[in-house]
Amino acid sequence: EDGTVRPPTVDTPLPFQVDDPLRDDFMDNKIQKVKDFGLRADPDITVTEIRTTDEWLLLASNGLMKTNEGDLGLTSEQVEKIVEQHKHQTPNEVCAALASQARQNGSKDDITIIFVPLAKNQYS
């Protein structure tokens, strides 16, 4: 409403395993065990203004990018180069090329990518 990006919900983790689903306190007991374990999800949210000159938007998990010393993902320069090399391919092909190069660099973390073309007549 005020232009602020907020997470839509607060997730409650489900139990890790099922012991006895016939017990009355089954879910209460399981959820309590998970809460005691200390699981918590705090999403990183960044608000970014998209300019009319922007050609694409990339949302990705930390497995794609080299963000800290020792990370084995891609640098920003590598991402830009790969996207430019694949600008006449589909968004899925761009994502596949990015993930493939991150794996070749040695990234072992999960990689999730959303690539959104903003410029017309590019990225089939």
DSSP letter string over 78-119? HHHHHHHHTTTS-HHHHHHHHHHHHHHHT--S---EEEEE-S
pLDDT in tens, 66-100: 877 777 889 889 999 999 999 889 999 999 999 99
pLDDT band at 3 (very low <50, low <70, confident <90, very high): very low
Do residues 112 and 68 share a domain?
yes
Do residues 41 and 87 share a domain?
no
Task: Answer whether residue 102 shows pLDDT above 60.
Answer: yes
Domains: count for the chain: 2
Please give the DSSP secondary-structure letter assigned to residue 16: S
Contact between 86 and 121 (Cβ < 8 Å): no
- Rounded to two decimals, the pTM is 0.64
Do residues 31 and 68 share a domain?
no
Residue 30 vs residue 87, higher pLDDT: 87
- 105 CB-side CA count, 13 A: 21
Tokens, residue 9: 């919900």
Average pLDDT, the chain: 76
Do residues 85 and 34 share a domain?
no
User: What pLDDT was estimated at residue 33?
Assistant: 55
Confirm whether 18 is domain-assigned: yes
Query: What is the domain extent for residue 111?
Result: 56-117
CA dist 98 and 102 (Å) reads 6
Do residues 108 and 66 share a domain?
yes
